Structure 1
Amino acid sequence: MGRDAKRAKQARRDKRRRVAGSDTDVPPWFEAAMKERWEAWDRAVAAGLMEEGAETKYHFTPDGKVLSVAVGKSGQLLANGERLTPSAADRLRVEMPFLAQMVTFYENNQAAGRGLEGGPEDGVTMLEPPRGPDPMPPVDEAAMARARTGIEALVRQGKVSEAVGAMVIPSQRGVLVAVGGVDGELYVNGKALTEQWATRLREDLPDIASDVARLQAIRAQWQDAPPADRSFELGACTDPNCHGVH
């Protein structure tokens, strides 16, 4: 590689590493964490996940944690150098409680195709630690009965191995009951979670539209792997809106 090419590559890296609004590249008390982030982004570039010099947002917390986010080549968001999958988002919320809301913000942006749009400026993000989940609405027993009937029909059709292990999310207008299938599909309220069905669910249950988007992300993550029996994968639900295992 020629000297000019090396200089151009270093300039792109410096651009990615610069913290907006500061005279220095990194606040000194975050240097160790930032070094880890830069190395993670270099690995992401080397793996072909993102372009060299792509815009990267950096958010710091008072307890010394750093969250950095960028848009990958495929349009999927990357957080700290890895794809922002549902499992990665859950882990980041646990590791960085002050930034749990920020992780969820970018997760929702990804589901809506908005990338980094609306993200706050780089710097220390003074957020309160996450509150506990809001009280859940009472479960609509009639809607629950319809959802159970739908799952039982899937069992009879051989699409789901057993009518257990479902994720149940109450809504003001009904209920979401999601369960994995033996073919790796994700079924919600008795139907495969296609884009058309997801749109209908968001229209019918607007207060939990974000949960529909989260289930779509889980389905997309499943599609990246060979089909497998997913009947019990939603049973160990850690989502704060999850009503429990049924």
Structure 2
Amino acid sequence: MPQVPAFPAAEMDRIGRLWDRAIEAGLMASGAETKYHFTPDGKVLSVAVGRSGQLLANGERLTPSFAERLRGQMPFLAQMVTFYENNQAAGRGLDGGPEDGVSILPPPPAREPLPPVDERALAQAKAATMALVRQGKVTNEVQAMVIPSQRGVLVAVGGVDGELYVNGRALTDQWAARLRDDLPDLASDVVRLQARRAEWQDAPPADRSFELMGAACTDPNCHGVH
């Protein structure tokens, strides 16, 4: 039988202090339900619903940038972080989360061969992005993230005005809904981009030209930044 890993007492004490700080800052209520997931290497992911309804992880708001950092720090729980990220986007809170305890998820699936790129859709999306460059809204199309699907493509780029543009348009709720309908196999990536835009909107406008550099998409076939 596999040996149960030692309880990470020191890490739990550290995270407990982070939650105390979150309560003092008014991010969450004292005694709020908190789920704990442990990895065999002693890492801990704890998640709760904050006062605003936003999910908190280890005492911090589960923003896209923080989620990326957690996936890098806790590879065993990378999929768990994404699960809660998707829950947050859907307004489901902690619903469906596994029981507290040691969580050993299977490794991510092997990278699949890239699907054939719809060259016509890619050309249209690039042309729309170049139009943003000409309008002065985007500095350079080279920083765009390209994500292909079986039905088309997403080309996402950060603007000099702090906006996030996808296929030539600001990623408003209406445009995001249209993209999810048109590209159902990339719906989760659209949701992730929406969450990133929401995070940007919380801060003063800033040049976001390089904000998507190195950012991961959930589709294993993401072409990355072009």
What TM-score bracket applies, with the shorter chain setting the length? over 0.9
Deviations 1:159-188 (A, max 9, x none): 112222001111110000001111101000
8 Å contact from structure 2 (residues 115, 221) kept in 1:
no
Contact 1:173 1:205 in 2 (8 A): yes
Query: Does the CA contact (< 8 Å) of 2:48 and 2:94 recur in 1?
Result: yes
Q: Give the structure 2 partner of residue 154 of structure 1.
A: 132
Q: 2:145 aligns with which of 142, 157, 167?
A: 167
Which stretch shifts more, 186-195 or 131-140?
131-140
CA distance in 2, matches of 1:85, 1:237: 13
CA offset at residue 132 of structure 1? 4.0
2:45–2:57 CA contact under 8 A, matched in 1: yes
Is 1:53 the counterpart of 2:31? The answer is yes
Provide the secondary structure at the position in 2 that maps to 1:154: helix
* Residue matched to 2:222: 242
SS in 2 for 1:73: coil
> How far does residue 31 in structure 1 lie from its aligned partner after superposition?
1.0
For residue 113 of structure 2, give the secondary structure of its aligned residue in structure 1: coil
Instruction: Tell me the CA shift for residue 153 of structure 1.
Output: 1.0
Distance in structure 1 (CA, Å) of the matches to 2:113 and 2:84: 24
Secondary structure in structure 1 of the residue aligned to 2:139: coil
Residue identity matched to 2:47: V
Which residue of 211, 219, 225 maps to 2:189?
211
Task: State yes or no: 1:116 paired with 2:94.
Answer: yes
Normalised by the length of structure 1, the TM-score is 0.85
Deviations 1:88-117 (A, max 9, x none): 111111111111110110011011111101
Matches within 5 A, 1:89-100: 89-100=67-78
Q: Percent identity?
A: 75
The equivalent residue for 1:193 is 171
Q: How well do the aligned residues superpose, as a CA RMSD in angstroms? A: 1.5
Letter paired with 1:147: A
Q: Does structure 2 retain, via aligned residues, the 8 Å contact 1:164–1:235?
A: no
Matched, 1:31 2:4: no
1:73 aligns with 2:48: no
Amino acid at match of 1:89: A
Amino acid at match of 2:58: N
Match of 1:83 among 61, 72, 94: 61
Which of 107, 110, 114 in structure 2 is aligned with 1:129? Answer: 107
After superposing the two structures, state which structure 1 stretch, 201-210 or 149-158, moved more. 149-158
Which runs of no fewer than 5 residues in structure 1 stay unpaired?
Answer: 1-26
**TM-score, structure 2 as length reference:** 0.92
| C-alpha distance 111-241 of structure 1, shift in aligned 2 (>3 A) | farther
Instruction: Name the residue aligned to 1:142.
Output: 120
CA distance in 1, matches of 2:83, 2:215: 20
Supply the distance in 2 between the matched residues of 1:177 and 1:159 (Cα, whole angstroms): 15
| Per-residue deviation, 1:219 | 0.3
CA distance in 2, matches of 1:223, 1:133: 33
Query: How many correspondences in the alignment?
Result: 220
1:212 to 1:63, Cα distance in 2 relative to 1, 3 A: same
